[in-house]
Structure 1
Amino acid sequence: MKIMSYSIETKYKTIEMKEAGYTVKEIMEALNIKNSTQVKTWWRWYRNGETYRFYQQRGKQYTYGKGVKELSEVEQLKLDNKKKDIEIDILKKYKELERKWYPK
């Protein structure tokens, strides 16, 4: 089985066709996409505002701000905020455990 890699233009064309009301099967046939899950994944990323993922290499996950230079300032700030939220949650859990195990 060959691993496919699609161009950014193909990904955006997929989104345009999906918005125009084409079915997944029609999109797959028109753009020569091998797997329907791929179309659904791109569509989910688009709906969630994660279009920066279109620029990522296959298998790369830029969760901690180590993304591509194509990220807009807004998308970079969103990633930074997610990272800060995760750090705050970890600190809250640590404090909770600390109070539980070392009561005053």
Structure 2
Amino acid sequence: MIWFVIIATGLINFATRISMFSGYSPKQLPNWLEDALSFVPIAVLTAIIAPAVLFNDAGMISIVDNTRFYAALVAIVIALITRSVLATISSGLMILWALTYSGF
């Protein structure tokens, strides 16, 4: 059974990838699909980052004594002001390290 699943997923993966190079796929996606796909990176990053920021090691939501939460707030403000990925990441990390090493 496991070999069937492995082979089936491999064939499905191959079929989806070869369809882009075979000439059978449309050259332009419909506008409604492009609009819907524009939200995918935001949704995926939110699903990855939100649990890492909000949940503590015990699996409970922690805001008051959570250094990651305050670093994320600063990073959000920096992102809104500068629109720079490098400035956002570096400021968030610096605040996180500063709060961690200060014993907050």
Return the TM-score normalized by structure 1: 0.29
Could you say which structure has the greater relative contact order, defined with CA pairs below 8 angstroms and 6 or more residues apart? 1
> Which has the higher Rg, Structure 1 or Structure 2?
2
Return the TM-score normalized by structure 2: 0.29
Please state which structure has a larger fraction of its residues in helix: 2
